[in-house]
Structure 1
């Protein structure tokens, strides 16, 4: 949740963006309600030969806005020209300018294209996420948890997470990414990155190309289903091309071998795994540094009783019953399991008793 001061700054940036967008309307309003009364005050002479104050002139201009002049007719070409021109110009000003300005300022929850465009103009260094499906929504959630401003683009109004994103007040543009106005509405020129997460490889590539054309320095992350295409994109396009199958394959393969593995990823040629250890045989009495130096295992968190400590210091001594989340390469992980007398993966029936809630395998 943003603090009141942060929300105020957001509102001020939004108001400034609106003022830039409606600068012609605001300038015309200043001319009509600033210069107009001055001209009436200078030129108008009533039937009795008396002039009028600036306040009376402003009153007259205001009611001319509604086609209801408040001053008697006089034979003066400048006064009559103003009487004729101000009503239609003012009506056009109100209909096309002031009403839209007020609508965009007070009805920001509507999420129409113009609103999203104005909100995007208040952002700099934000991330544009294309696709409001399951992957796109999780990307948005993660980015917002890290405090990053996000603008989402989705082609279909009935996409899975459109309603959820709107409930969370995320700027959401319903538009076809092939439209030449789509990405400019997200202020992509000032964005730091774009995530192409639709379920169409060709559409993701087109979005990435358009984004690079508008912002050559933008960081591009592309979701691709074709692994071969992903490799070519990484090499020639210098973008992060991620395949769902390649990301899921190591985790699924390792989960089939050992359901105690929480997560897996690669660093170069090394397969890294994350697993939860309940401190039993071998580990009690060792400190965190000894586990790291002997087995290469980095302690990510330590749960003792009802207290969880992230990144426990090296001098913390492990006690029986502690639960330690450890990151290590797969061979180091196997060596650590063997040291604790758990070289074989547990039977599936014991799996849920071993892992804490929140760390359960999908299998």
Structure 2
């Protein structure tokens, strides 16, 4: 396996492949001090590895002698992965290559060169542009088929997978405001979450919405200063994918149960202009609306008074009143005193109406001009999510939240940030300003928000914003993006101890993304990952054909406690299946979908006697080691039938 990158994701991916999947890894990184390399990698190879992984003792520059504490078996320093570098790394004999540079162009250049050097190479590319990624996947897969026409695709998986660390981490980050947890996976249009239940609540009870039990928690999870974040093993650690007997026998330990959930945000206001305009309450201020109402009431009162005093028909009396208001009626000379008084009052009302109409025009123009640029948080907004940062990760999280109709207010210091255009298209309110400046979070109405997502690229900024928000609203749900894992764990424990009744999450994007990248390098389609304390469960869509541990076996025979479990069966026609079980959604801004909507066809709670057929595709939950054993290149020995 070859990993090429310039930030923490490359290092974490190398450790994931080597430590979990037991693969031989070559790591290609820029030289220390190279221009454009992130600050946290501006160290020597040993220093960089030690800074990112405290347990690492050294970096091996030659073939490994069994030291699993090293980042890689071989380390190459190069500014960019060009042809010569890829040849030095062994791309011609490698089985998989991950290109995880932050520069999309660098990854694309290297992918084209790698496909030319080795048509059988499995490629995993980090790319932010999803549309470009789809075209690149098709191009490189077609190039592999043309370059190696005799290649057996069943034996050699030369597929191309384009992933985005932002897309991989966005569901977990957005889930904290949907279900109070980052443990979510999306499959076939469903949002699945892992729910932690106390020991008193046992799975399988009547009316239990849980699909299955994923884990038994360690005994320290209820301690505010406990070990959520520790890698403890043994009796105190979590027990992943237990069997039913273990679940029923466990006492004093909480459980993690898989549930399918949905969220319904507040209904959109029906009073919109031209179908896509702003609500009338946002076009005109409350003071202006009261002024218009007062003038309308005055006109109505004058019309009624004219009708009662002059004896004219109601319509004619109203007509004369309107003429008097606009000063185009005949003077009431020689007419009764009541008529003259009403005419004078009508003229005075007309004078008051003029500035109100001018103010209404100016406010309307100002509102529509602002709506074309940036929206401000509406008056009376509450129960919303305050999202800090509209970079790569923030933009993806914003799109996820709006898909669920969750109200959002964004805060961004850079008016040219890449997510500003998306927020404007989605008509999401934006506050431009430094979140550390006093008054910025108040402008986002943090005191009435339901959650805070701090997703800027600066750890200290995210922490400062979270701490200040907690002083304003102690029980606010907070989720932070933090790069350093040790720092994230320390922040989580401290905030949980200080605010035990509030939900706090601190996650590293590269930590959330690395398992999916590593699993894609192993040649399988990963739907997502769910952390259980400091361990991880992966969810994969797997074709049964060709797997001796799956094909022709019942679900009961396939299940391996602590390793893998089949959750669902995909009933979609094989020709219509999507690799990631996704259901096409309407795209924002074009007013419609892509015309290829597929009905969700996952079947849950299958009987244990169901026999898997070659044409089946199943959703599997497994540990990282379990999936490596089940679907890796070195499959374990098939046990004999009992």
- Above 0.5 in TM-score? yes
| Alignment equivalent of 1:59, drawn from 293, 311, 323 | 323
Map Cα deviations across residues 148-175 of structure 1 (whole Å, 9 max, x no partner): 33333323232113223333x2414151
Distance in structure 1 (CA, Å) of the matches to 2:360 and 2:467:
35
Normalized against structure 1, the TM-score is what? 0.68
Q: 1:179 to 1:36 in 2, by over 3 A?
A: farther
| Alignment equivalent of 1:72, drawn from 323, 327, 331 | 331
| Alignment equivalent of 2:548, drawn from 262, 281, 292 | 281
Q: Does structure 1 retain, via aligned residues, the 8 Å contact 2:386–2:449?
A: yes
Q: Does structure 2 retain, via aligned residues, the 8 Å contact 1:276–1:325?
A: yes
Q: Is the aligned partner of 1:173 residue 2:430?
A: yes
| Alignment equivalent of 1:117, drawn from 377, 382, 390 | 377
Q: In the TM superposition, what is the alpha-carbon distance from 1:195 to its structure 2 partner?
A: 0.9
Q: Does structure 2 retain, via aligned residues, the 8 Å contact 1:299–1:311?
A: no
Unaligned runs of 5+ in 2: 1-266, 307-311, 497-503, 578-600, 638-642
Task: Compare relative contact order (CA 8 Å, sep 6+) and give the higher one, 1 or 2.
Answer: 2
| Alignment equivalent of 2:288, drawn from 25, 43, 68 | 25
Partner of 2:356, secondary structure, is: helix
1:266 corresponds in structure 2 to 531
Question: Per residue, is there more helix in 1 or in 2?
Answer: 1
Distance in structure 1 (CA, Å) of the matches to 2:519 and 2:535:
14
Q: Is the aligned partner of 1:216 residue 2:481?
A: no
Distance in structure 1 (CA, Å) of the matches to 2:447 and 2:479:
16
Distance in structure 2 (CA, Å) of the matches to 1:282 and 1:205:
47
Which runs of structure 2 are paired with 1:9-48 in the superposition (5 Å)?
Answer: 9=270, 11=272, 15=279, 17-18=281-282, 22-35=285-298, 38=301
Normalized against structure 2, the TM-score is what? 0.41
Distance in structure 2 (CA, Å) of the matches to 1:242 and 1:295:
25
Q: 1:146 to 1:77 in 2, by over 3 A?
A: closer
Q: Does structure 2 retain, via aligned residues, the 8 Å contact 1:299–1:312?
A: no
Q: 1:233 to 1:79 in 2, by over 3 A?
A: farther
Q: In the TM superposition, what is the alpha-carbon distance from 1:213 to its structure 2 partner?
A: 4.1
Partner of 2:626, secondary structure, is: helix
Map Cα deviations across residues 265-289 of structure 1 (whole Å, 9 max, x no partner): 4312433233454433242221223
Give the stretch that moved more between structures: 129-138 or 176-185.
Answer: 176-185
| Alignment equivalent of 1:325, drawn from 615, 619, 630 | 619
1:100 corresponds in structure 2 to 363
CA RMSD after TM alignment:
4.2
